[in-house]
Amino acid sequence: MSRLAATGDNYVMPAGWETERLVAEVRGLAVRGLPRDEYYRELAARLRRTIAIDATCWHGVDPRTLLLTTASPEELLQRGFLSAETLLPAAQAFWACEYEREDYNTFAALARRRAPVGILSEATRGRPQRSPRYREFLAPHGTPFEMRTAFVMRGRVWGCVVFHRSEATGDFQPVDARLMARLSGSIAEGLRTCLRLDAARRPDEESAPGMVVLGPRNEVELITAPAQRLLEPLHADSTPRATSVPVPILTLAATARRQRLSTLGDTSVALNVPSRGGWLSLYASLPDGTKSQRVAIVIQPASPERVAPLRLEMYGLSAREREIAALVAAGLSTKALADRLFLSPWTVQDHLKSIFEKTGTHSRRELRARIFFEEFLPGIDARAPLAANGALTSHTTHAAT
């Protein structure tokens, strides 16, 4: 009997869709700008029209570092594959296999492939027990069959997903992998849109930096009050608080430990993370040097200059366009831009036109408001030059609505 039947879940596979209809549905969903969790649910419902999936686990990815920033294990919990008691040990095994040792089909490896999809049984040539993740996570929890996809757009990764199947459902097939490879870019576009909207918030009150210290088994040895407040928006709504450590904290801890194994020098790691309360900057280091598995992580609200490059990527700007947008924010004229970048003024104007179209702005002033200050204006108040410029404030208010 499958785990779904054993838990009384009466889920029935809907009538199948043709591939072209699924592709069109996913493309349409990508431009709706749904909240991220709702986007995942809508995606899963559509994908199940063509692919048999017993449970999904979605992840956000920082496109610059390829570190996981979020996890959504709701279906694994709802369908009985994980419980409040097994969630933390399972997460420990998952993160260790992803960051601390070698395993098959890691998300970072998938992101570099032309087709960013991997079926575990294929990668291990029919011997999945060769994978630590299979031995420690998949098989013990009743999901021996796994297919992973990284969502890549223009060479940048915006998220990934794990599809799970039980023994009763059977393994994934190459046709499933080909379909997910085809959908990867559209889903990446949808995630980028979700991220741009979800992260455009900031707490009403400034918060002091906080600190978390994790022990060798990722147990919380110390957490300050500011850290508790800052980390609360990173928890998944359905994840039991008592048994969970937010995903970016686990990601940074695992990465810092892995760096400890490869270098005796600096083991600090930094990550900018979107949350329901705005952007956060996290910094991890080993307080005892290379002699301990303890990890200290400092958390603080992200500064505009750290967030701006990612916000530009979310709007789909190319590397050259991001460079020009940053110089526009610094106040450079078209001629100064052309001189700095060894371009003609006409080429700069063409880039500016593309930047305005992608960001939905119409002027340099509005671009600065949208990208660099929209999220941060509530905390800037009258001490900043922006407040004296009523036009800029009105542009920002309009953009936020």
What is the SS3 assignment for 147-194?
Answer: EEEEEEECCEEEEEEEEEECCCCCCCCHHHHHHHHHHHHHHHHHHHHH
Report the distance separating Cα 5 and Cα 267, nearest Å: 47
Report the distance separating Cα 48 and Cα 17, nearest Å: 9
Residue 176 or residue 32, greater confidence: 176
At residue 206 the predicted structure's pLDDT band, cuts being 50, 70 and 90, is: low
Question: Which of these, 137, 152, 122, lies nearest to 82 by C-alpha position?
Answer: 137
Residue 278 or residue 51, greater confidence: 51
Question: Which of these, 5, 177, 183, lies nearest to 79 by C-alpha position?
Answer: 5
Does position 314 have pLDDT exceeding 80, yes or no? no
- What global pTM score does this model have? 0.67
Of the spans 65-79, 110-124, 201-215, 251-265, which averages the highest pLDDT? 110-124
Task: Show the domains of the chain with their CATH numbers.
Answer: 3-198 (3.30.450.40), 210-302 (3.30.450), 305-400 (1.10.10.10)
Residue 80 or residue 395, greater confidence: 80
Q: CA dist 52 to 66, 126, 170, 348, 392, Å?
A: 28, 20, 9, 49, 51
| Residue ranges of E strands in 210-358 | 210-214, 220-223, 269-275, 278-285, 295-301
The reported pLDDT for the residue numbered 380 is 30
Residue 370 or residue 42, greater confidence: 42
CA dihedral angle for residue 395, residue 397, residue 399, residue 400, rounded to 10 degrees = 160
The reported pLDDT for the residue numbered 236 is 60
Of the spans 272-281, 321-330, 334-343, 370-379, which averages the highest pLDDT? 334-343
The reported pLDDT for the residue numbered 317 is 83
Per-residue pLDDT tens over the stretch 276-305: 777 888 998 887 665 678 899 999 888 766
Q: Which amino acid, 69?
A: T
The reported pLDDT for the residue numbered 56 is 97
Report the distance separating Cα 321 and Cα 367, nearest Å: 12
The reported pLDDT for the residue numbered 8 is 40
Sign of the alpha-carbon torsion through 18, 21, 27, 30: negative
Note whether 50 and 19 are within 8 A (CB): yes
Does position 17 have pLDDT exceeding 50, yes or no? yes
The reported pLDDT for the residue numbered 187 is 97
Residue 395 or residue 364, greater confidence: 364
At residue 3 the predicted structure's pLDDT band, cuts being 50, 70 and 90, is: very low
DSSP string, 100-123: IS--TT-HHHHHTSSS-EEEHHHH
DSSP string, 56-83: EEEEEE-TTT--EEEEE-HHHHHTTSS-
DSSP string, 18-60: PHHHHHHHHHHHHTS---HHHHHHHHHHHHTTTS--SEEEEEE
Report the distance separating Cα 64 and Cα 328, nearest Å: 22
The reported pLDDT for the residue numbered 193 is 83
Per-residue pLDDT tens over the stretch 126-161: 999 999 999 999 999 999 999 999 999 988 899 999
At residue 7 the predicted structure's pLDDT band, cuts being 50, 70 and 90, is: very low
